[in-house]
Amino acid sequence: TLTTVQILQIFQDYLDSSGSSDNAKEVLMDFLEFDDENELLLNDGDQRVILVANNFRKEVTSTVLWLIGHDIQISCFRATPYSNGQNVFLQIDQIIPLPETQEFMIDMKEKEREEKKMSKSTTERKDLLLEFWGLVNKSFEEKSFSRYDRIVAKPYYDHGFHVKGGYFACVIGRHGIRVELYFSSDKDKSKIDSMLNHKQELEKTFGDSLIFERLESKTASRVKFEMPYKELYKKRVRFTDKSGWPARIDWFSDTMPRFCKAVIPVWERMN
């Protein structure tokens, strides 16, 4: 029943205890290469109702359980009177929700709310990605770049195709956009090292400096080119803001054909 906030706190506690100065949210966002953060949903179900009776009819308890399921804070207490001589006692017992299950029910409800919100956010993000990559494909088609003719837009942050075990892709990263040749299986780094041997040829054909990443902590590696910092700084708006799409689409439609023209022949010769 852990929520995102609770998970982040647990991870942050672990990082702190291990002597790391990293921020848990930043580490996870970088690792997953997510562009958007989910907004924190606070508990807005602040209504609170307490029902007290000697006996509750089935219709009442059923209604109470339904209200609890819809974020109404409501509880039922059974009041049982006792007498002992001249003394009168009133025993109060909470019957809905049961004390031993109340915390679990709250946690489950928080988790359910978070999942509903994330599901809505995920659906919206997928729709945006499908629309964006569809526009990128259209731009490629207008420029007669045929590599994407049969590539269908999918709701991912990368959009590409495979050539002899290498994945050529346009990528929307958290801090910018890039084109890359990604090797998902390069544990011994032989693929990236072989590409690095052709660095001068690749950059001469491409017309700009490329970044060769060994990704030492992973079994993968890649060759990439990112939108230059100055250009990125001027055009950096959140991906969900469609006003920033034309700049991204223009950059991809200009850069990806040049990247493929320079890198694919070298990669194919190596295989």
CATH of the domain at 131: 3.30.1460
Instruction: Tally the domains of the chain.
Output: 1
Report angle CA 88, 90, 93 to the nearest 5 degrees: 160
d(CA 199, CA 1): 50
Burial of residue 256, with CB atoms counted within 10 A of its CB: 0-12 exposed, 13-18 middle, 19 or more buried = buried
44 in a structural domain = no
d(CA 257, CA 259): 5
Instruction: Find tokens 């207490």 and name the residue.
Output: 77
160 in a structural domain = yes
d(CA 164, CA 260): 13
11 in a structural domain = no
Digitized pLDDT (tens) for each residue of the chain, 271 residues in all: 457 777 788 888 888 898 888 888 777 777 766 656 554 332 334 557 888 998 888 889 888 888 877 777 788 899 998 888 888 888 888 888 776 566 666 666 677 766 666 667 778 889 999 999 999 999 999 999 999 999 999 999 999 999 999 999 999 987 789 999 999 999 999 999 999 999 999 999 999 999 999 999 899 999 999 986 566 556 567 788 898 899 899 999 999 999 999 999 999 998 8
22 in a structural domain = no
For the record, the structure tokens of 89 come out as 């006692």
Report angle CA 150, 151, 155 to the nearest 5 degrees: 150
Domain that holds residue 187: 125-270
Which amino acid is located at 156 in the chain?
A: Y
100 in a structural domain = no
Instruction: Find tokens 């207008």 and name the residue.
Output: 142
Asked whether 253 and 139 are in contact (CB, 8 A), the reply is: yes
Running DSSP on this structure, what letter comes out for residue 155?
S
194 in a structural domain = yes
Asked whether 7 and 24 are in contact (CB, 8 A), the reply is: no
**Beta bridge pairs of residue 94:** 77
Q: How many Cβ atoms from other residues are within 10 Å of residue 218's Cβ? A: 13
210 in a structural domain = yes
Three-state DSSP at 77 gives strand
Q: What is the pLDDT of residues 6-61, one digit of tens each?
A: 778 888 888 889 888 888 877 777 776 665 655 433 233 455 788 899 888 888 98
Running DSSP on this structure, what letter comes out for residue 33?
T
117 in a structural domain = no
